Amino acid sequence: MSEANTANIATRIITVQVSFPVSEKSPYRAKETPSTTAGAVRDAAMEYFTVSDSNQYTYVLTHDGRKVPDSETIGQIAEDRHSVEFRLVKELTQG
Amino acid sequence: MSDQESLLNLAADEVAVAAFLASNDGYLIRDDKDAAVYWLRMRPAGAPSDVYYVRMAWYAYPHEAPSVKFADSIGGSSAVAGAWPVIPGYRSASFDICKPITAEGYALHAEWRTGPDAWPTSGNPFLWVTEILQYDMDNHYGGRSS
């Protein structure tokens, strides 16, 4: 990879949006670099919506229905797009 | 039958639910006899040929959790084991979902009615429940019950 491409990736900004239906707040929005992990976005969104995990459930990010691992980067998910939309879903373990 | 305020609240929130279902190759229909009952057609992303019909009946929206049952067709029976998907907490033998998102779940577990498992009344709980059902289908689906 050339230095120019490396610099371009490093400075690229991706807009992320996380929606959570049972909140009066508007969706969480932030501008992130491609190396930001989904876990960091999940944590920030949970703080914004004032929710937290417990031993009975966890909050997960989904993208196109798929559960997004915390380790995945925003750049991997966005590919060549400039924005990514997630949903914050409460994963319940009761039953 | 729900009160008029509930029906108006449902009508306002069903728009986002319809859009969400459409993005997942599904749709919803409001029951022609009881306007507080919706029929949702859903399918797991990993098994798109498996079609499911959900009967979601609301009482006091958004204040109470809905009854959620799988049926063998829109307007059909919810007492058919084969209409249910195999997903943890979805109990085809007793025709209920034992999670703090349904009236059946809260009836079985009174301790869920307060604290972090309490039913959420802000925002769009109709969409919230629907997203969880779709999430379970997309990420925890184990085939059709028999």
User: What is the ipTM score, two decimals?
Assistant: 0.87
Q: Is residue B146 part of a domain?
A: no
Return the SS3 of B40.
strand
**In CATH, what number is assigned to the domain containing residue B63?**
3.10.110.10
Q: Is residue B116 part of a domain?
A: yes
Tens digit of each residue's pLDDT (9 = 90 or more) over B83-141 = 999 999 999 999 999 999 999 999 999 999 998 899 999 999 999 999 999 999 999 99
Cβ–Cβ < 8 Å for B21, B131: no
CB contact under 8 A, B99 and A89: no
Cis peptide before B62 (omega within 30 of 0): yes
b/e sequence B89-125, b meaning 16+ C-beta within 10 Å: bbbbeebbbbbbbbbbbbebeeebeeeebebbeebbb
Count Cβ–Cβ pairs < 8 Å, chain A vs chain B: 65
Domain of A12, in residue numbers: 3-92
Q: Is residue B145 part of a domain?
A: no
CB contact under 8 A, A22 and B100: no
> From the candidates A60, A88, A92, which should be mutated to test the interface with B, based on the most B CB atoms within 10 A?
A92
Chain B closest-CA separation from residue A14 CA (Å): 23
Q: Give A4's pLDDT tier (boundaries 50, 70, 90).
A: low
Angle between helices B4-23 and B125-139 (to 10 degrees): 30
pTM: predicted TM-score of the whole model, two decimal places = 0.91
Q: Is residue B59 part of a domain?
A: yes
Q: Scanning every residue of chain B, which has its alpha carbon at the shortest distance from the alpha carbon of A95? A: B89
**In CATH, what number is assigned to the domain containing residue A11?**
3.10.20.90
Chain A closest-CA separation from residue B136 CA (Å): 8
* Res. B2: pLDDT tops 80: no
Tens digit of each residue's pLDDT (9 = 90 or more) over A50-92 = 999 988 899 999 998 899 999 999 999 999 999 999 999 999 8
Domain of B35, in residue numbers: 4-139
Mean pLDDT value across chain B: 95
CB contact under 8 A, B138 and A65: yes
How many structural domains compose chain A?
1
How many structural domains compose chain B?
1
Q: Is residue B144 part of a domain?
A: no
